[in-house]
Amino acid sequence: MHYHWSTLHQGAYLSLFLRTTAHNIRPCYDGLKNNVATSLMRVKLNAWPKGTPEFVSHTVMKEYIQDTSKKAGAESVTIYGARVTRLRKVDRKWDVTWTTLKETTQSGTFEEQEETAKFDAVIVASGHYHAPRVPDTPGLSKAKAQWPSRITHSKGYRSPNPYAGKNVLLIGGGVSSTDLAREIGPLAKNVYQSTRNGEFDISASVLPENGTRISEIERFEIEAKAATDDEALPIKVHLKSGQTLCGIDAIIICTGYHITLPFLPEYHDDATPAERASDTVLVTDGTQVHNLHKDIFYIPDPTLAFVGVPYYTATFTLFEFQAIAVANVFAGIAKLPAESAMKDEYTRKIEEKGSGKRFHSLKDIEEFYVIDLLEWINGYRAKHGLSAIEAHSDSWHLAKAEQRERVKVLLGAGRRRDSGIGELPVLEVCS
């Protein structure tokens, strides 16, 4: 949660709060690489080092982000290791409360220290990959509670080594599930990937040789209360295809994340479906951030802004354009429409796209989203005698077209369909 570095160029006094330290990164597995080409993620503030491949390790990605921060001057205002615990609007100011771990001089132990400061505006740029989503498949939560080290979420995955010689079940058919299947495959005995045959399921053709795409899971049946680490889980996995899977040693849940803003509890209404959100709530069932103008500004109080909410984008470049919009508004260069106009635009978008995760999807339209943002911002910049912000470059558009062709292949042939098209795999018969 922080002011984006582009804000610095508008002369704002700011602080950036990062939960990680300067020397570590957020949880990610050893073999993780970007799945959006580096040529699509080049920000205006910093070019990638010459010769950087299109797909790099998370270490290279971290170094690029940190280098950009230093070049932009953001390093000096960054508070590392800070966990923001509360945001509250008090007398036209935002009270930001955060904690850091400080080492005690005598015992060498660490204690949590809390601080609070006031800010005129806040940008939440914490992403939406924090709270793991576990599907409500009958029997899954009970099984996970009973064997927490063997039934895990992909957020906790680090290495394929623990799965050597094992039968592994992956729940989900997206990028993370397929990536883990390809990592685990060379070491595992068998890899089973259960999917709902969704729109964004990756083609089964990219699974390893010992990987099998199977039907969506109907329920988990626990057959015994205990099992040694050397034994398979005493679970029958009943599939919607009518088949039953047995002999599974480990299960990895690759079903994504809930959106959550734990530092803004007053703006949560977790029990409410997305389509029934009020006109002041931010988070309901975890599928959407509500009441944002252009996926950025909180309509009832635009001094609270968000960067990085949209899905299916080129990430860094899209987020930079959002940050540029925020910087221009907070610096007094650009003006937001009246609240009623923002509400009307937001309502039209809901009617067009529906509520939930699809509301934030920019699949195939992110360049038009950016053009719309910049037409608004540049109109005001011209009135102030400032140069226009350029949209995506020609090289970016070329790289984007190439990416879309790659995605067509990944989502293309080789998909099993539960409708009965094609043969279902032969699975081990449960006794």
Rounded distance, CA 242 to CA 222, Å?
Answer: 18
At residue 421, φ and ψ (nearest 5 deg) are -75, 125
Give a three-class secondary structure readout of 269-303: CCCCCHHHCCCCCCECCCCCECCEECCCEECCCCC
Task: Specify the 3-state DSSP secondary structure of 155.
Answer: helix
Q: Do domains 5-130+258-392 and 134-255 have the same CATH topology?
A: yes
Task: Give yes or no for a contact between 182 and 168, defined as CB atoms under 8 angstroms apart.
Answer: no
- Beta strand 131-132 with 235-239 is unpaired
Rounded distance, CA 357 to CA 355, Å?
Answer: 7
Record the pTM.
Answer: 0.89
What was the pLDDT predicted at 318?
97
* Beta strands across the sheet bearing 83-90: 83-90, 93-103, 110-119
User: What is the amino acid identity at position 186?
Assistant: P
Task: Give yes or no for a contact between 178 and 202, defined as CB atoms under 8 angstroms apart.
Answer: yes
Residues with Cβ within 8 Å of 13's Cβ and at least 6 positions away in sequence, in order, are none
Pick the closest to residue 216 from 195, 238, 201, 235 (CA basis).
195
- Beta strand 16-18 with 78-80 is parallel
Structure tokens that stand for 192 in this block: 């089973």
H or E, element range at 245:
strand 244-245
What was the pLDDT predicted at 424?
54
What would the DSSP string read from start to end of 72-118? HT-GGGEEET-EEEEEEEETTEEEEEEEEEEE-TTT--EEEEEEEEE
Structure tokens that stand for 88 in this block: 């509250």
CATH 3.50.50.60 fits 134-255, yes or no: yes
In words, the CATH class of domain 5-130+258-392 is alpha beta
What was the pLDDT predicted at 74?
87
What was the pLDDT predicted at 27?
64
Pick the closest to residue 86 from 27, 1, 162 (CA basis).
1
What was the pLDDT predicted at 3?
39
Residues with Cβ within 8 Å of 9's Cβ and at least 6 positions away in sequence, in order, are 327
What was the pLDDT predicted at 88?
96
H or E, element range at 65:
helix 58-72
Angle at 182 between CA 180 and CA 184, to 5 degrees: 65
**Other Cβ atoms closer than 10 A to 393:** 13
Residues with Cβ within 8 Å of 359's Cβ and at least 6 positions away in sequence, in order, are 274, 288, 349, 350, 353
At residue 357, φ and ψ (nearest 5 deg) are -60, -35
Task: Give yes or no for a contact between 310 and 296, defined as CB atoms under 8 angstroms apart.
Answer: no
> Residue ranges of the domains in the chain?
5-130+258-392, 134-255
Pick the closest to residue 211 from 163, 256, 244 (CA basis).
163
10-residue mean pLDDT series, the chain (431 residues) = 40 60 63 91 94 94 92 87 93 94 76 92 90 94 95 95 97 94 96 89 90 94 85 94 93 95 96 96 96 98 98 94 97 98 98 94 96 98 97 95 88 49 55 59
What was the pLDDT predicted at 61?
93
Strand partners, 268: 283
Q: C-alpha dihedral over 414, 314, 184, 416, to 10 degrees?
A: -20
Task: Give yes or no for a contact between 154 and 177, defined as CB atoms under 8 angstroms apart.
Answer: yes
